[in-house]
Amino acid sequence: MRSDDLAHCKEAIRHGSLSFHAASRLLPGSVRDPALALYAFCRLADDAVDLNDQKPQAVLTLRDRLDLIYQGRPRNAPADRAFAAVIEDYEMPRALPDALLEGLAWDAMDRRYRTLSELFDYSARVAAAVGAMMCVLMRVRDADALARACDLGVAMQLTNIARDVGEDARERRMYLPLDWLDDAGIAPEAFFADPLPDERVRGMVKRLLREAEKLYLRSEPGIAALPLAARPGIFAARHVYAGIGGAVRRNGYDTVSFRAHTYKSQKLGWLALSVLRSGVSLITPRSAVIYARPLAETQFLVDAAARVPRPDNVWGDGRTGALLSALAQLESRDRAGA
């Protein structure tokens, strides 16, 4: 990786993802540098869709950029060149960034999620896929460790969704499960027109954070399966993101009127706790939770990163077909708009 490309990635993360930037300080250089390249590309991808009025075209452009990266001919841009170097050095399975691309395609289609399982499907693509890629950067291909990394990714995404309910509503986006809204007697369009943090909405935010907390706890035994030098950084990511959930709780689960924030002093405390917990993990017996089955919604990521063959060919036809279908829908919308 070129030093100037790495410097660009560091700067992008410093401004674009304060939580990851804080946690990355505890990663060893051998993991931190490729992780910065990975996160810079993911940040670029997310912003390219989220901040673009032409979302379908933005996703299709990202598809083309990813194609060039995997062909070894990245665009002449720092994040693309850096990510291409990471893919080559670590033999990153194409299925993992493809999963992220599929999640972004769902965002571009304003897709909504009927059940919690469907929300897990989305979270698997936009967050757990990144967790699986981080394991690949640590040279960890153990299926149990990968499953726990995916748990952590889904937990982080649920935390983000809980924090951003009001912000998303003002952009006419809805990530809360629709069946939860039905049970509460709330129509999405009515909520968009007048988003209020009433007891029903705050109850759904609380419920979502409870699901996240279960997954944070499930993820922890997987951290002990990572290289020792990488554990403090991953513990830090776990505590920093869970801390966002703590801020939401302190605001009475109102994420319509307030956007939860954490403070530098808190982050420093979580970083210190993460170093301490990494040392304790050396003398603590391995938890049986490490062997828990992956979430059904993240199984395909575990299989891809662990290089597990799929005899039923679901990975080849089904997964690729799902991505191509989403991209075809976007292409159709883009042409219609043009």
Instruction: Tell me the pLDDT tens digit for each residue of 3-53.
Output: 899 888 888 777 656 666 666 777 888 888 998 898 888 887 877 777 767
In this structure, what token pair is assigned to residue 249? 């709780």
The model's confidence at residue 337, banded by pLDDT at 50, 70 and 90, is: low
**pTM of structure:** 0.88
Can you give the pLDDT at residue 319?
Answer: 62
Question: Cβ of 11: how many Cβ atoms within 10 Å?
Answer: 13
Mean local confidence (pLDDT), 42-67:
82
Report the Cα–Cα distance between both ends of the chain, in Å, rounded.
38
* Model confidence pLDDT, tens digit, residues 242-261: 999 999 999 999 999 998 88
How many whole angstroms separate alpha carbon 132 and alpha carbon 144?
A: 11
Report the candidate in 123, 125, 119 with the shortest Cα–Cα distance to residue 99: 125
Spell out where the chain has E strands: none
How many whole angstroms separate alpha carbon 75 and alpha carbon 81?
A: 7
Can you give the pLDDT at residue 333?
Answer: 67
The model's confidence at residue 280, banded by pLDDT at 50, 70 and 90, is: confident
Contact 148, 215 (CB under 8 A): no
Which residues make Cβ contacts (< 8 Å) with residue 331, sequence separation at least 6?
Answer: 56, 60
How many whole angstroms separate alpha carbon 297 and alpha carbon 153?
A: 12
Report the candidate in 30, 41, 29, 49 with the shortest Cα–Cα distance to residue 74: 41
Task: Choose the weakest-confidence range: 114-128, 208-222, 227-241.
Answer: 227-241
Can you give the pLDDT at residue 312?
Answer: 46
Task: Choose the weakest-confidence range: 56-60, 149-153, 287-291.
Answer: 56-60
Report the candidate in 160, 305, 140, 150 with the shortest Cα–Cα distance to residue 242: 160
The model's confidence at residue 271, banded by pLDDT at 50, 70 and 90, is: confident
Please report, for the chain, the start and end positions of each structural domain, with discontinuous segments joined by +.
3-337
CA 299 to chain centre: 15
How many whole angstroms separate alpha carbon 178 and alpha carbon 201?
A: 12
Can you give the pLDDT at residue 277?
Answer: 85
Higher pLDDT, 293 or 286: 293
The model's confidence at residue 317, banded by pLDDT at 50, 70 and 90, is: very low
**What class, spelled out in words, does domain 3-337 have in CATH?**
mainly alpha
Helices then strands (H, E): number in the chain? 17, 0
Mean local confidence (pLDDT), 117-133:
97
Can you give the pLDDT at residue 39?
Answer: 85
Contact 221, 286 (CB under 8 A): yes
Q: For residue 84, what are the CA distances in angstroms to 65, 134, 305?
A: 10, 15, 17
Which residues make Cβ contacts (< 8 Å) with residue 117, sequence separation at least 6?
Answer: 296, 297
Higher pLDDT, 8 or 155: 155
How many whole angstroms separate alpha carbon 186 and alpha carbon 137?
A: 43
Count of CA atoms in the C-beta half-sphere (13 A) of 150: 34
Mean local confidence (pLDDT), 138-147:
96
With both helix axes pointing from N to C terminus, report the angle between 29-50 and 129-137 in degrees, rounded to the nearest 10.
150
How many whole angstroms separate alpha carbon 34 and alpha carbon 24?
A: 11
In this structure, what token pair is assigned to residue 44? 């670029």
